[in-house]
Structure 1
């Protein structure tokens, strides 16, 4: 973290502003920078810009490739959620090739994705973002809050084993904390669960369009389930522990609900296909999308606008404004209407052209390599966010009320998650209820509950996969042919939220390909209309509760707001090497310019 204090500017409107820059943001992957101006007298962030300084360009070098290689290439977009990209690419290819995987193949993909959610949410929540709430951090930023935490009994102490809130904070201390180490160990078993289903993590080796190459057996699913049940036992401590911690923060710092708070503008593209209904055709996408075991939806001001994947697809717009790209207004369109005859906008991913235009960063003009995805509701271009993934998934599923599994039920206002009896703990039912706010604490809370959701869903997926095997239905892959022309899309949820892949095939090769993961949505910048992206919006107006003066300011409240979105910048921007020009840089060991 780089923090720079700026001399207060002249002029009444700038007289109390101090510039505080955080670049790079630590404990995440990528090159995210947050540039703020803080009204120190009012203890509030007055201005924020979100930047990314790397460009990678997958949408450029995918052109001309064999479509069958798309999932292997796009999984390399990210070294964290590469399997989400591979899965989404296979969904996109299934549509293009007109292939429907066997049910067992789909259950295996669902089990792999469930393991990925459990793995990634656990390691991020406990070992990365959890550090923002650990004893060492709170002692450095809010010693008064730590004193109160040490004196506050935990309401659910009997369930998680920590007597006070201070004990929870000590458990989250990096390396030395008991719970920190326990969570780190859990990440190994969940990664093993994924590898059982798809061969390798994080770039699957047995995942293909048409299904999987995994050899299914009773032993395979038994090995998965044995690890899953240990993880479920762990979750019975995790959920009440985080409820106690986050509820305490609200109580200890009245007004903390404003940290990272923004208008409820949430997007979820759905996850976990039901093989009984999903045929991957565009014509039936609205129906099989609603049958997903995580329901898609666009939520505005707490209300569900749509859960129709066709509407969601057609509403996507890629805007420029403050990003380092040329417009493509004068470029040819690849798709003018979809398979149902609906018009497709020039700014839809099917028609996007990526034309890099690097220049010096200027916050009044262009300042980031991240574009500005928006969702057009017919009137406004909405800067949807994913809330880090889980809050949008749970909110959308709860409102639609369509999911009713063995261990999960959406009620219209909440999601009930039942975890069965495990080795030492009884059956336990948790209820995630739609919160009052979309803010930092509720994004983090939802991440804990969605781990339980993914685990409960995996129990059903494993049960149905075993039923297929025992019935002798062991086929996991369906052959296909690559068409000469096609326009297709895939929708799912990456760990951090919405993920779509759009592909156009011409002459049997990829003519256009655009993956849009959650980070471009969350980390987008001011668009052509001047609308700020979600990181920027969530940080602007955030109150400062940190007790340190400006010269020792750590920006913990700002960091909590940003990290609640689970940022991962590799997915936000893409690589491009141009014509292959090589630049040799020679560094002098004596060349050093001191800061300041």
Structure 2
């Protein structure tokens, strides 16, 4: 089987120093990153990603009324709960055979667009941005800051910051001008979401069959007035981040290797077109390709598929190095999908969650996260989402299927984003071009461009919703009945990447339910074939550019690599450095394989 492991340099006698950051995230338990650093070669030799909390949603969903699924699964996360609610509603629509009115789908699209804008903004500017701010750069790379002071910003006329150091100062937490501005913008985007779905982050007006939102021209006008202020904000943000990220390549030759891994990207598509989407599994190939973000699997720069049926059937849940017992030999809930295709026993429809708590052992089992993989017929690929946007943009660009009212156009090699004139700024066009690498810088850059993508798409969604209102088509919900038996799936993109909900209904109740958000994909552990998960793979072999000694090491390059995946970081980050303990690399086969 293909492995994306890259071996560290082998030099006899070089010391490895253990360093760990734990916790980093809370999206699926507490994320910890455990590393061994080769200081002689300034590189990360080994990395292990761990999660110390067991969630158990797949267990306690059993026996529940399926109509409660979106309310329950929304609580999986206090940050992207609406993404789970939306995915669950899509799942239920398929199970119940219900097609919401067009207006309801435009409202849901506007709510999700606001969520993308909100979450990407607050993460990029108030969490990731701190990694590149003046204070952090001064502590980790004072030489880089000195260069930034004397480097003019190429797009200063668009964003207003004369030098790269001025951009860095604007990102200083609590004090920086741009940092504070972004906080205000995040409030505005949250208001946009609440206009559409009542409450953020757990929607109160979102149901299978549609929404309970009272749709009026005033509602969409209130949304649009805020959206246009966000559009104007993006005309500043995109060139500012381009200047900042391009500078790091210039200031630190070789920085493209930080967080770099093989291009193995997954996107499940998002934002349905109600004119094509009927939520029938039998038609999922066609309506999936009509999504306003195109689903796809990208391997080594090649778009392998855009077919949601193929994507669904290729999902495998491997236990790998996780704290669970295998379910081989237990009941297989689904042997064939609604089209008659065989379904693998390791598909989420057939998964049994059997927790087995145990002591953490990096040579055996060390995390509560399983190892989701996508099987291409030959290999079990450790797909990542790149934090969401890079996979979405890459898949959409290559597919060339998207034209959102002329606001967003995919060209086959790029994504063109066209923002109209706003109060103080003229019409602007941005183009996201497929990058050379899937690395920390490009994941972060894509996040900025995707904010502009969603602002542009939302303009189209508002226009379409107003067409429905003015035509008198104001229904926002369609009735349905819950069947005794059903097999269903919902696909969308959570803010930080792929999200699917798989459900089996028997006797009118949930018999099996498995939600798979992006963090189990990104934060997965070494699988049954020894292939590391994306966090592990991206950090392993990452070069260390930080100027500090081991005693004062901040681990900024490692943190930038991990944070580029957007692993939900409202929690604090803690670090420890072993008490001077040095590990000697041995030339045994075991150590060689581990490295």
User: If the length of structure 1 is used for normalisation, what is the TM-score?
Assistant: 0.93
Residue 485 of structure 1 and its aligned partner are, at CA, apart by 0.3
Equivalent residue of 1:79, what SS? Answer: coil
- Please state how far the C-alpha of 1:569 moved relative to its aligned partner: 8.6
Mapping for residues 34-113 of structure 1, pairs under 5 Å: 34-113=33-112
For residue 25 of structure 1, report the CA deviation from its aligned partner: 2.2
Pairing 1:408-427 to 2, within 5 Å after superposition: 408-427=408-427
Q: Is the 8 A contact 1:44 1:542 kept in 2?
A: yes
Task: Identify the residue that residue 452 of structure 1 maps to in structure 2.
Answer: 452
Deviations 1:394-423 (A, max 9, x none): 000000000012201000000000000000
Residue number in structure 1 paired with 2:588: none
| Closer, same or farther: CA 95–26 of 1 in aligned 2, 3 Å | closer
Mapped pair 1:187 → 2:167: no
1:469 maps to what in 2? Answer: 469
1:128 corresponding residue in structure 2: 127
Whether 1:302 and 2:324 are equivalent positions in the alignment is no
1:165 aligns with 2:164: yes
1:514 maps to 514
Which residue is 2:375 aligned to?
Answer: 376
Match of 1:366 in 2: 365
Residue 273 of structure 2 aligns to a residue whose secondary structure is: coil
1:201-240 pair list within 5 angstroms: 201-240=200-239
Tell me the SS of whatever aligns to 2:282: coil
How far has the Cα of 1:17 moved from its partner? Answer: 1.1
Partner of 1:437: 437
**Do the aligned partners of 1:31 and 1:569 also contact (CA within 8 Å) in 2?**
no
Query: 2:19, 2:87 → 1: CA distance?
Result: 38
Q: The residue matched to 1:431 in structure 2 has which SS?
A: strand
Does the Cα contact within 8 Å between 1:29 and 1:569 map onto a contact in 2?
no
Match of 1:560 in 2: 560
User: For the Cα contact (< 8 Å) 1:52–1:569, is it kept in 2?
Assistant: no
Give the structure 2 partner of residue 7 of structure 1.
none
* Separation (CA, whole Å) in 1 of partners of 2:270 and 2:295: 8
How far did residue 28 of structure 1 move?
Answer: 8.1
User: In 2, distance between residues paired with 1:459 and 1:24?
Assistant: 39
| Paired residue secondary structure (1:128) | helix
Query: In 1, distance between residues paired with 2:141 and 2:130?
Result: 14
CA deviation digits over 1:441-462, x for unaligned, max 9? 0000000000000000000000
Matched residues, number: 562
- Which residue pairs with 1:590 in the alignment? none
Q: 1:283 to 1:162 in 2, by over 3 A?
A: same
Matched-pair contact (CA < 8 Å) for 2:19–2:35: yes
1 CA distance for matches of 2:480 and 2:211? 13
Q: What residue number does 1:550 align with?
A: 550
**Gapped runs of 5+ residues in structure 1?**
1-10, 571-594
Please give the residue correspondences for 1:143-154 in structure 2 after superposition, counting only pairs within 5 Å: 143-154=142-153
Q: Report the CA distance between 1:16 and its aligned residue.
A: 2.1
How far is the alpha carbon of 1:26 from its aligned partner?
Answer: 6.8
Instruction: Quote the Cα distance in structure 2 between the aligned partners of 1:320 and 1:399.
Output: 32
- Output the CA distance in 1 between the equivalents of 2:357 and 2:428: 54
> Equivalents in 1 of 2:66, 2:31: separation in Å?
31
> Which consecutive unaligned segments of at least 5 residues does structure 2 have?
1-9, 571-577, 580-595
Q: Secondary structure at the match of 2:404?
A: coil
8 Å Cα contact 2:28/2:519 also seen in 1: no
Cα distance in structure 1, aligned partners of 2:117 and 2:460: 15
Aligned partners of 2:13, 2:511: CA distance in 1, in Å?
49
CA distance in 1, matches of 2:195, 2:562: 34
On the 8 A contact 1:30/1:568 being kept in 2, the answer is no
- Aligned partner of 1:273 in structure 2 is 272
Asked if 1 retains the 8 angstrom alpha-carbon contact of 2:227 and 2:455, the reply is: yes
Partner secondary structure for residue 279 of structure 2: coil
1:493 aligns with 2:493: yes
Question: Quick one: higher RCO (CA 8 Å, sep 6+), 1 or 2?
Answer: 2
Match of 1:8 in 2: none
Distance in 2 of aligned mates of 1:530 and 1:568: 26
- Alpha-carbon distance in 2 for matches of 1:207, 1:13: 60
Normalising by the residue count of structure 2, what TM-score does the alignment of the two structures yield? 0.93
Does the 8 Å CA contact 2:27/2:77 hold for their aligned counterparts? no
C-alpha deviation, 1:12, in angstroms? 6.4
Q: What is the Cα deviation at residue 24 of structure 1?
A: 1.6
Determine the C-alpha separation between the residues in 2 that align with 1:27 and 1:485. 35
Q: Structure 1: how far apart are the matches of 2:291 and 2:163? A: 40
Q: Secondary structure at the match of 1:310?
A: helix
Q: Residues 311 and 88 (structure 1 numbering): CA distance in 2 closer, same or farther, change over 3 Å?
A: same
Q: Is contact 1:27-1:128 (8 Å) kept?
A: no
Distance 1:234 1:399, change over 3 A: same
Superposed CA deviations along residues 64-109 of structure 1, whole A, max 9, x for unmatched, are 0000000000000000000000000000000000000000000000
Distance 1:365 1:414 in 2: 42
CA offset at residue 20 of structure 1?
1.1
Q: Which residue of 2 aligns with 1:583?
A: none
Return the offset for 1:15: 3.3
CA distance in 1, matches of 2:46, 2:55: 28
Is the Cα–Cα contact under 8 Å of residues 29 and 568 in structure 1 kept in the other structure? no
Deviation at 1:273, TM superposition (A): 0.2
CA distance in 2, matches of 1:534, 1:25: 15
Q: Please give the secondary structure, in 2, of the residue aligned with 1:360.
A: coil
**Which residue in the other structure is 1:178 paired with?**
177
What is the deviation of 1:14?
A: 6.2
Residue 114 in structure 1 maps to residue 113 in structure 2: yes
Instruction: Please give the per-residue CA displacement for 1:160-209, whole angstroms capped at 9, x wherever unaligned.
Output: 00000000000000000000000000000000000000000000000000
Which residue of structure 2 aligns with residue 573 of structure 1?
none
Q: Is the 8 A contact 1:32 1:569 kept in 2?
A: no
Within 2, Cα distance between the matches of 1:296 and 1:12?
43
- The correspondence of residues 312-331 of structure 1 with structure 2, limited to 5 A, is 312-331=311-330
Deviation at 1:554, TM superposition (A): 0.6
